[in-house]
Amino acid sequence: MRTCVIFNPAARGEKARHFRRHLEALGNQATLKLTAAAGDARRLAEEAVNEGFDIVVAAGGDGTLNEVLNGLGDAPEGFERARLGLLPLGTVNVFARELGLPVRLEAAWEAIQQGKETRIDLPCVDHEADGLRQRRYFAQLAGAGLDARAIELVHWPLKKRIGPLAYVVAGLKALMGAQSKITVTGGGRSETGELVLIGNGRLYGGQYRIFPGADLRDGRLDVCVFPRVNWLTLARCGPALLLQGRPPASLVRAFQAESLTLTSPVPTPLEADGELLGRLPATFSVQRSRLRVIVP
């Protein structure tokens, strides 16, 4: 069972430092491919599939995971030829939490070595960027509106210092601006709101169960639409999120669909797995049980 690990040697944080201390030992058990710039993880993952590796491991956060996932998709029949592994070294690690992966590096690596496989749904979004139609796969979630605008506004040096709180700061900045109207259509429903979140799993932002009924294997995407996003919405959602881990049902419109279309009359940002992709319009779909993932 040939394993390739893709890692950013410039990554910061205690988990990344701990990982670097084990690089030599890890190199005796797997092939390491180190990134040097944005986009490298995607290229290296495609390269690993074409070189015949059975498992391609994303050693990092949700951004590294998304690049590796799309690298698998770039290789011919990549999702059939290789399995995805994950060493969660990032700030939030939502997908790792969703799968119940160990947070300790040694335990996570042991799970990868055991090679237990599960199949989950593989969502993707088709959108335009730089005038070209593009497809982006994602593992956990996507969003349009305030959520994506906050990612646009994240101050990365601040994120290195305060971690997930940097997203809170960026979200408050985004809340002070004008909000776009987004229409989402699918599953026999059409809803309009100022924030649209699309989930493959249950979790958002780490521990919040924004999509409590989501199932990684049901062939459907879960949609959560906030009709209004303002300071009153924040005040009403905050206590419920902190105490119950999800927003009040009265403030959202939730449904499921196999495919979705998002449109907006003004330029509206779009993100997937915390990575800014471009602007709406966008079309979402899901391929049932397409992604092979290593789990404990």
Residues labelled catalytic: 275
Alpha-carbon Rg of the chain, whole angstroms?
Answer: 19
Q: Which helix (H) or strand (E) holds 38?
A: none
Can you say whether residue 111 is alpha, beta or left, with left for phi > 0 and alpha for psi between -120 and 50 degrees?
alpha
Distance CA 30, CA 21 (A): 15
Distance CA 123, CA 139 (A): 7
3-state SS class at 8: coil
The CA-atom distances, in angstroms, between 216 and each of 116, 123, 147, 256 are: 17, 10, 22, 13
- As to burial, measured by CB atoms within 10 angstroms (0-12 exposed, 13-18 middle, 19+ buried), residue 185 is middle
